[in-house]
């Protein structure tokens, strides 16, 4: 493992030492095993924990002599815990990788090479796909799933209003066209309902906006790929809606990043990740929801389409006698239809092409909409997309702070955008 002390790694992942130290008690305390014990770490809510627990039971039944020790937490606590585990050289054998930490974990030497593990079958992936997953020329992570930026809307609300979204074509489904539609809907919406909640912090949707403008979230050399002017345009798109009364206020939605339970019955539309429909649509069973890719600029840059790969890894320091079992566990997650039937599709569309076909067999109607949007996006031309660099782990917190400043009228869009850029650049500078 690359040498990395505790203070250095805390800087890389953007976690304060006090906050990280407070999470050590979250680690699971599995008992001793007579067989091979694999520690497996992932994040999510209680429902995901239960589903993955059932899937692991099925894996253990299929693999006598292997025990799996789950280490489960919510998203933030998961990252804080691995920070402590990395400093203590006590990282789980198999673990998920949060989006801001892909290169931070690489920098800390957490990943083991995967293409030499006999028990991990990679035959479902093409050579081109496997090459695209490599980091620094080595296949040391694999995608569990693919997410895309998406617009989710309440079809029941549309039907009640006798309204239709702009046509899903290059002339109708544009940012300006959607803005005009939302403002018009809000003028005639029932009391207590708005067109959209104010979620300018939706990171994949913001990244889609950037790529359409010929920018990137991150560059190949680990810097920001966008400037204050492009960010200010994004803020202004949302401000036009807010000033027209088309969005919920931050107080109505309880902050810049509200829970869906708070806003789900108050708005026609939300921006977010394609997979969110799997968990969030069932919260309001009386409504029918639709899903689309985000709007597109009439002069959008070529290759702007993209998918985010949610990755899984094997720890570089894993004991040799555990490697076969770890490979089987990763194989089960990525290649086994039985796994998919148990856990469902809340983490997104399978990256494995064979599993994607299987997914349609187990998906409910909402999940099928997600799969269709992801397939549509991934079939398009795509320029390269670069992972978040070390030190960028706090960028979404900085972004949310900028969103609040604008929406609460504490700062103008230009000043808030400049401050966000400066703060992210400062964090990247500290990491380097």
382 found inside a domain = no
Residue 34: the pLDDT is: 52
Question: How many domains, in total, are found in the chain?
Answer: 2
Could you tell me if 131 and 161 lie in one domain? no
Torsion 8-11-17-19 (CA) sign? negative
Could you read off the pLDDT of 173-207 as tens digits, one per residue?
999 999 999 999 999 999 999 999 999 999 999 99
Regarding pTM above 0.85, the answer is: yes
For the chain, the C-alpha Rg in angstroms (whole number) is 22
Within a domain: 427 = yes
Is 267 in the same domain as 153? yes
Residue 4 pLDDT > 80 = no
Phi-psi label, residue 156: left if phi above 0, alpha if psi -120 to 50, beta otherwise: alpha
The proportion of the chain whose per-residue pLDDT surpasses 90, expressed as a percent, equals 88
Let me know if residue 213 belongs to a domain. yes
161 is a domain residue: yes
Higher pLDDT, 21 or 207: 207
User: What pLDDT is stored for residue 258 in this prediction?
Assistant: 86
Q: How remote is the C-alpha of 373 from its chain's centroid?
A: 16
Q: pLDDT tens for residues 343-362?
A: 999 999 999 999 999 999 99
Beta bridge partners of 410: none
pLDDT of residue 393: 87
Domain co-membership, 411 together with 277: yes
Query: Parallel, antiparallel, or unpaired: how do β-strands 308-314 and 142-147 relate?
Result: antiparallel
The yes-or-no verdict on residue 151 having pLDDT over 80 is: yes
Q: Are residues 177 and 281 in the same domain?
A: yes
Same domain, 273 and 314: no
Q: Residue 386 falls within a domain, yes or no?
A: no
Both 292 and 320 in a single domain?
no
Read off the pLDDT of each residue in 12-32 and give the average, rounded to a whole number. Answer: 36
Candidate from 32-46, 173-187, 327-341, 403-417 with smallest mean pLDDT: 32-46
Of 5, 90, 100, nearest in space to 43 by CA: 100
CB 121, CB 335: distance < 8 Å: yes
Identify whether residues 174 and 256 lie together within a single domain. yes
pLDDT at 17 over 70: no
In this predicted structure, the answer to whether residue 168 has a pLDDT above a threshold of 60 is yes
Residue 339 has pLDDT above 50, yes or no: yes
Q: Residue 57 falls within a domain, yes or no?
A: yes
Strands annotated E in 75-166: 94-97, 142-147, 149-154
CB of 28 within 8 A of CB of 95? no
Q: What is the mean pLDDT of residues 387-408?
A: 94
Residues 43 and 171 in one domain: no
H/E stretch holding 309 reads strand 308-314
pLDDT, tens digit, for every residue of 52-87?
999 999 999 999 999 999 999 999 999 999 999 999
pLDDT at residue 373 in the model:
97
CB 193 within 8 A of CB 252: no
Q: What is the CATH number of the domain that holds 50?
A: 3.40.190.10
H/E run at residue 98:
none
Task: Note the helical H segments in 162-266.
Answer: 175-187, 203-212, 228-243, 260-263
Give the Cα separation of 20 and 413 in Å (integer): 34
- The mean pLDDT of the chain is 91
pLDDT digits (tens, 9 = 90+) for 102-149: 999 999 999 999 999 999 999 999 999 999 999 999 999 999 999 999
Domain of 218 in residue numbering reads as 149-305+391-431
CA distances from residue 233 to 27, 229, 425 in whole angstroms, order as listed: 43, 6, 19
Any domain includes 10: no
- Do 163 and 258 sit in the same domain of this protein? yes
Tell me: pLDDT of 293 over 60.
yes
CB 281 within 8 A of CB 366: yes
Please determine, for residue 266, whether its predicted confidence score (pLDDT) is greater than 60. Answer: yes
d(CA 374, CA 308): 10
Pair type for strands 308-314 and 267-273: unpaired
CA atoms within 13 A on the CB side of 235: 28
Q: Is 75 inside a domain boundary?
A: yes
Task: Answer yes or no: is pLDDT of 248 > 90.
Answer: yes
> Are residue 181 and residue 153 in the same domain, yes or no?
yes
Per-residue pLDDT, 133? 95
Q: Are 31 and 130 within one domain?
A: yes
Give 87-100 pLDDT, tens digit per residue: 999 999 999 999 98
Report helix, strand or coil for 220. Answer: coil
pLDDT at 315: 98
**Phi first, then psi: what are they for 64, rounded to 5°?**
-55, 140
Query: Minimal CA–CA distance to 97: which of 109, 82, 87, 116?
Result: 82
What single DSSP character describes residue 313? E
- 3-state SS assignment for residue 218: strand
* 296 and 321 belong to one structural domain: no
- 416-431 mean pLDDT: 94
């Amino acid at each position: 493992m690359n040498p990395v002390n505790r203070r250095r790694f805390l800087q890389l992942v953007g976690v304060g030492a006090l906050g990280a130290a407070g999470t050590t008690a979250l680690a699971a305390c599995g008992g001793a095993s007579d067989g091979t014990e694999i520690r497996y770490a992932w994040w999510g809510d209680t429902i995901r924990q239960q589903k993955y627990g059932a899937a692991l039971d099925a894996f253990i039944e299929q693999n006598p002599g292997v025990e799996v020790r789950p280490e489960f937490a919510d998203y933030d606590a998961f990252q804080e815990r691995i920070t402590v585990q990395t400093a203590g050289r006590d990282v789980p054998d198999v673990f998920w990788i949060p989006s801001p930490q892909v290169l931070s974990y690489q920098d800390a030497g957490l990943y083991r090479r995967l293409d030499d593990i006999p028990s991990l079958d990679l035959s479902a992936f093409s050579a081109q796909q496997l090459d695209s997953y490599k980091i620094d020329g080595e296949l040391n992570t694999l995608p569990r799933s693919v997410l895309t930026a998406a617009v989710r809307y309440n079809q029941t609300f549309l039907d009640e209003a006798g309204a239709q979204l702009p046509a899903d074509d290059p002339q109708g489904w544009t940012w300006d066209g959607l803005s005009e539609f939302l403002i018009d809907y809000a003028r005639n919406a029932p009391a207590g309902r708005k067109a959209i909640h104010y979620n300018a912090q939706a990171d994949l949707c913001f990244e889609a906006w950037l790529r359409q403008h010929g920018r990137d979230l991150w560059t190949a050399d680990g810097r920001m790929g966008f400037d204050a002017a492009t960010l200010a345009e994004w803020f202004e798109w949302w401000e036009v809606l807010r000033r027209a009364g088309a969005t919920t206020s931050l107080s109505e939605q309880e902050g810049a990043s509200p829970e869906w339970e708070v806003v789900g019955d108050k708005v026609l539309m939300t921006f977010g990740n394609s997979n969110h429909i799997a968990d969030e649509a069932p919260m309001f069973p009386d409504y029918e929801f639709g899903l689309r890719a985000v709007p597109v600029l009439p002069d959008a840059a070529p290759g702007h389409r993209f998918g985010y790969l949610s990755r899984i890894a094997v720890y570089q320091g894993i004991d040799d006698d555990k490697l076969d079992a770890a490979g089987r566990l990763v194989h089960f997650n990525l290649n086994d239809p039985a796994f998919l039937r148990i856990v469902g599709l809340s983490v997104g569309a399978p990256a494995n092409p064979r599993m994607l076909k299987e997914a349609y067999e187990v998906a409910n109607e909402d999940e099928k909409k997600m799969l269709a949007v992801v397939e549509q996006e991934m079939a398009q031309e795509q320029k390269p997309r670069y992972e978040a660099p070390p030190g960028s782990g706090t960028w979404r917190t900085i972004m949310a702070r900028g969103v609040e400043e604008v929406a609460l009228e504490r700062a103008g869009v230009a000043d808030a955008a400049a401050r966000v850029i400066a703060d992210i650049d400062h964090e990247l500078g500290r990491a380097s």
